[in-house]
Amino acid sequence: MAYIQNASNRFTLIDHPDPLCGKMVVVDWTLGNSCSYACSYCPKNLHDGSLKWQKPNDVLHLYRQLRRHYVDEMDRIVWLQLTGGEPTMHPQIVDLLHQASAKGFKISLISNASRTVRFWEKINKCLNSVILTYHAEFADLDHFIRVAGMMVDHITVHINVTMHPDHFDQTLEDARKLRAALPAASISLKPLRRDFGAQLYDYTKEQMQVLTNGLPSDRAPIGEQPRSLMRATTRSGRTETLRPNEFLLRDLNRWRGYKCNVGLESLRIRGNGEVYRGVCCVGGRLGYLGEDLVLPRDPIRCTKDACSCLADILIRKER
Ligand code: SF4
Ligand code: SF4
């Protein structure tokens, strides 16, 4: 196989510094596209309810396949990352979370935290981590703090604050209140991109500086997360441990021709039920939710020019 020389393929192996992370199968699962909010910066098809919520029987069928294939046959750990729309709006979400937990899966929810405190009390024991996004256009700050506060001392709580340039100062004030109320949470001040694409909204130089500085916590992180770092090794054995966005920023994310564990360490279920090995879709569609799927047993050769999703970067590959 011929390789085009670039900065990425100085490294012959990209793997997990912690072997336990290599056993995780992170299942990125979009349950539907209904949402309790309609944020002005969110493309309509991500919140307009044009897709029906996935049927509980189909979801449970895939749980059984995940358990058999990855846990029983491959001795891996399944970690579901459920998203939407707003995944907590799925009419059977409480049961689906309890059933996933009973199967021994680890679970993260990506949510806007809008549902009641009573709802979160029913599900929080099933969760291993949450990513809560504070959308100032709709969120109630006190409610958000109550929801995050009930989990922050026992599982990983990450908070994204979406920073619209037109309400920047007010949102920053809210973010500082979140920082003060939830010292154990990690918080990112998220710049917004038009239609969630490549182009940033117009931020002033001062606003960009605030976004770069962020609101770091002085507490050590609590709880677990599936993975956050990768170790890159050269042919001569020199290693560097990097965060996934460093691969992007340094143009070290080009692995065409490498043997990649996408599909062994990851799975992607789209809102319309299509199932892929990972976000990159290399290897093509494996089938649809509800079907009997043939799930991957072997790595696959990368066919993409660039590996551009952070979740995909956090997967082992080797030349
Ligand atoms: S909460 Fe998320 S999915 Fe819902 S409208 Fe806002 S950005 Fe879109
Ligand atoms: S694009 Fe897909 S196949 Fe290629 S390296 Fe990234 S995760 Fe692996």
pLDDT, tens digit, 9 for 90 and up, residues 284-316:
999 999 999 999 999 999 999 999 899 999 999
- Distance, in Å, from the CA atom of 293 to the CA atom of 135, rounded to the nearest integer, reads 37
The fold of 10-128+231-319 is TIM Barrel (3.20.20)
Work out the percent of the chain whose per-residue pLDDT is above 90. Answer: 89
Residue 315: both structure tokens together: 């997967």
Instruction: Compute the distance from residue 107 Cα to the ligand 2 centre, in Å.
Output: 23
* Ligand 2, atom 3: closest residue by C-alpha: 302
Could you tell me if the CB of 28 is within 6 A of ligand 2?
no
Q: For 5-19, 28-42, 285-299, which range has the lowest pLDDT when averaged over its residues? A: 5-19
Q: Which pLDDT belongs to residue 223?
A: 87
Report pTM. Answer: 0.94
Q: Which pLDDT belongs to residue 222?
A: 84
> What are the pLDDT digits (tens) for 48-106?
999 999 999 999 999 999 999 999 999 999 999 999 999 999 999 999 999 999 999 99
Could you tell me if the CB of 42 is within 6 A of ligand 1?
yes
Helix, strand or coil for residue 248?
helix
Domain boundaries, the chain: 10-128+231-319
Ligand nearest to the CA of 110: 1
* Structure confidence at residue 198 as a pLDDT band (50, 70, 90): confident
* Ligand 1, atom 7: closest residue by C-alpha: 42
At residue 3, does pLDDT exceed 50? no
* Structure confidence at residue 4 as a pLDDT band (50, 70, 90): very low
Ligand 1 atom nearest to 112, measured from its CA:
1
Mean pLDDT of 203-214: 94
DSSP 209-242: HHHHH----SSPP-S--S---EEEEETT--EEEE
Q: Which pLDDT belongs to residue 7?
A: 63
> What are the pLDDT digits (tens) for 250-291?
889 999 999 999 999 999 999 999 999 999 999 999 999 999
Ligand 1 atom nearest to 85, measured from its CA:
3
Q: In a mutational test of the pocket of ligand 2, which residue from 28, 248, 252, 260 has the highest number of ligand atoms less than 8 Å from its CB?
A: 260
Query: Strand pairing partners for 260?
Result: 300, 317
Could you tell me if the CB of 262 is within 6 A of ligand 2?
yes
Instruction: Compute the distance from residue 23 Cα to the ligand 1 centre, in Å.
Output: 31
Could you tell me if the CB of 132 is within 6 A of ligand 1?
no
Instruction: Compute the distance from residue 39 Cα to the ligand 1 centre, in Å.
Output: 6
Ligand 1 atom nearest to 41, measured from its CA:
7
